[in-house]
Chain A
Amino acid sequence: MPLLDVRDLTVEFPTRRGLLRALDRVSFGIDAGEVLGVVGESGAGKSLTGAAIVGLLERPGRIAGGEIRLEGQRIDNLAPEPLRRIRGRRIGMIFQDPLTTLNPLYTIGRQLVETMQTHARLTDAEARRMAIGWLDRVGIPAAAQRIDAYPHEFSGGQRQRVVIALALCAEPALVIADEPTTALDVSIQAQIITLLKGLTRDHGTAVMLITHDMGVIAETADRVAVMYAGRVAEIGPVAAVIRHPAHPYTDGLMASIPSLEHRVNRLRQIDGAMPRLDAFPAGCRFHPRCPRVFGRCTEDPPELIPAGPTQAACWLHADG
């Protein structure tokens, strides 16, 4: 049984222009200890998926359909209090901008201790010791002294390390990392990713790694889900998706990444743009931009169909 099982997740936003469907029957699973990358353009719905899983959708968004199961139990229909107990303790979350994610008025030690004591019975001394341990593990030098420092006394990269510590300190089974390196310098990005990889491997924590950076996915993930316009376009093992993409969109994505080996005069791109939430085309949402579109694409929206080592939502693979 997968650790996290998302089935037909649908998220809607009621607006005065009508009901906007931001996620449409999104399905995927994450096994214990596995790293699933979720990749896609801005606005494809990656962050929304993460937010929906922990029940942190911003108003007026709401889950309009589907199920989310954690270790077999449904969590999408929980009352606020049981849901709160899951957050942090069983599912942790890492956000994008380390400069705004930490409360500037509290020391990082206080924030760590508070989080741990919310989820486990610990005395102040025990919690403090564990907090120092965590700071050590995420690579903050002189942890025992820095524990009483304020967030603004750390650099961006260090703050993100603290954020990782905070997300992991209650020892969740799954951590959702929403663009954890996007706001960081390139040189720091690699360090943070390595840290995340190492820590989660050591603790057996599963990771849902949301990013638009294919390079990070290639390095870190076991499997990857490609999202487009609120749906999953393709999902499968990383190597397979990268080398043998089954969905034309994924194919376009991979081809548009410049390669060190071949020289090209023009970078390949996918013409057109992702459709707006209130203007989805009929049938497959990618069909207006697809180089291999045919009849059925304009009428029926495809579900995920097995296509060799991966699954793709594309009618090209309809007949096995």
Chain B
Amino acid sequence: MFGVIGSRILQAIPVLLVVGIIAFALFAYVGDPLASMLGQDYTEAQRAALIKQLGLDQPFFVQYGHFLWLALHGNFGNSYRLAQPVSSLIAERLPATLELAITASVLALVIGVPMGVYTGIHRNTPLSRLFMMLSLVGVSLPTFLLGILLILLFSVWLGWLPSFGRGPVVHLGGWWTTGFTSWTGLKSLILPSITLGLFQMTLIMRLVRAEMLEVLRTDYIKFARARGLTSRSIHFGHALKNTLVPVITIIGLQFGGIVGFSLVTETVFQWPGLGLLLVQSVAVADVPVMSAYLMLIALVFLLINLIVDLLYHAVDPRLRIGR
């Protein structure tokens, strides 16, 4: 078990390094740190002095090492646009994105998995067909469009739910801000999390269904039927377990999709999270934020991969036997 963790971490390191190089290359070559810091008029001497001060005359790998060192300490420099340290910007916005992402994921799982199981077991009932049709619409609906339509319906026409922002938030433990504790906070959370979660929900449902159908076709299910086991134990004992094992891993990986689509949702709802930050940064080529985001995302994904791997090992007995 620890061998798995160890080897995964070892594999993750080169990936992080490569991503780091890309992020750094962004930082060093694409953006123009000098321009924003020097302003309109500057003398050659000032420029030369700044270059020396920032260490921009050093060889590539020295600069890269420096960058990595700073990064490890959470220092990504200052945003071009907002002139604030990137790390504090990120810390400020992280809770918003996380709360949204978690709510959306939970929603997607809680609705998607049962729907998938139902449509897998009862293939041709009218309810199944309805679900399948809805799922198709769900996959074809761009997230931002869904957001807009929801806003139109629930904010503009019905006036039930707020259409942007997070509402007043409560500070926890000095750093975290949460919207869970207030009624306005929760109301603000509803539309964005549905928007964010719908695509996931559809994906999960179709995945679970497809896997369920596959499993129900296997020989061991046939044998279970031939032994006279009840439908209940076949569907919810055998089939479900065998379905969920591969599905868990894919769901875990899909969590990445949520973080990605949060970009769009946050923009539509003006949700003050990391996604909105990134979009605003890309629009003005605010490179420090972009490269910090890149490294952060890489880290998150590698973590998710690791957790999913461990889960897989824990659940599938075939993987537990050591080599």
CA distance A137 to B222 in the complex (A): 24
Name the distance in Å between A217's Cβ and chain B's nearest Cβ: 22
Nearest-CB residue, chain B, relative to A149? B317
In the assembled complex, B41 has its CB within 8 A of some CB on chain A: no
Contact B226 A93 (CB under 8 A): yes
Contact A87 B228 (CB under 8 A): yes
**8 A Cβ contacts from A156-178 to B:** 163, 166-167, 170
CA distance A301 to B222 in the complex (A): 35
Q: Using Cβ atoms and an 8 Å threshold, which residues of chain B touch A163? A: 223
**8 A Cβ contacts from B225-252 to A:** 225-231, 233, 237-238, 241-242, 245
Contact A56 B226 (CB under 8 A): yes
Contact A89 B220 (CB under 8 A): no
In the assembled complex, B9 has its CB within 8 A of some CB on chain A: no
A105-B316, A106-B238, A150-B317 as given contacts; A88 in contact with B219, CB under 8 Å: no
Contact B229 A54 (CB under 8 A): no
Contact B223 A101 (CB under 8 A): yes
Q: Using Cβ atoms and an 8 Å threshold, which residues of chain B touch A166? A: 223, 227
Contact B219 A100 (CB under 8 A): yes
One of A56, A84, A115 near B222 (C-beta < 8 A): A56
CA distance A87 to B231 in the complex (A): 13
CA distance A48 to B318 in the complex (A): 33
In the assembled complex, A296 has its CB within 8 A of some CB on chain B: no
CA distance A104 to B230 in the complex (A): 19
In the assembled complex, A7 has its CB within 8 A of some CB on chain B: no
Contact A104 B226 (CB under 8 A): no
Contact A95 B229 (CB under 8 A): no
In the assembled complex, A103 has its CB within 8 A of some CB on chain B: yes
Contact B242 A103 (CB under 8 A): yes
Q: Using Cβ atoms and an 8 Å threshold, which residues of chain B touch A114? A: 229, 233, 237
**8 A Cβ contacts from A181-199 to B:** none
In the assembled complex, B224 has its CB within 8 A of some CB on chain A: yes
Name the distance in Å between A299's Cβ and chain B's nearest Cβ: 41
Q: Using Cβ atoms and an 8 Å threshold, which residues of chain B touch A95? A: 219, 222-223, 226
Contact B227 A105 (CB under 8 A): no
**8 A Cβ contacts from B268-323 to A:** 316-318, 321
Contact B238 A118 (CB under 8 A): no
In the assembled complex, A235 has its CB within 8 A of some CB on chain B: no
Nearest-CB residue, chain B, relative to A93? B226
In the assembled complex, B218 has its CB within 8 A of some CB on chain A: yes
Contact B218 A54 (CB under 8 A): no
In the assembled complex, A102 has its CB within 8 A of some CB on chain B: yes
Q: Using Cβ atoms and an 8 Å threshold, which residues of chain B touch A105? A: 241-242, 245, 316-317
Nearest-CB residue, chain A, relative to B217? A58
CA distance A152 to B220 in the complex (A): 13
Q: Using Cβ atoms and an 8 Å threshold, which residues of chain A touch B321? A: 152-153
Q: Using Cβ atoms and an 8 Å threshold, which residues of chain A touch B220? A: 100-104
CA distance A12 to B222 in the complex (A): 20
Contact A97 B226 (CB under 8 A): no
Q: Which residues of A contact B (CB under 8 A)?
A: 54, 56, 84-89, 92-93, 95, 97, 100-106, 114-115, 118-119, 150, 152-153, 163, 166-167, 170
Residue pairs across A and B with Cβ atoms less than 8 A apart, 13 shown, are A54-B226, A84-B228, A85-B228, A86-B228, A88-B226, A92-B226, A93-B226, A101-B219, A115-B229, A118-B228, A118-B230, A119-B228, A166-B227
| 16 new A-B contacts at CB < 8 Å, known A93-B223, A118-B227, A153-B321 | A54-B226, A56-B222, A84-B225, A84-B228, A87-B228, A88-B227, A92-B226, A95-B219, A101-B222, A104-B318, A105-B242, A105-B245, A105-B317, A114-B233, A118-B228, A167-B226
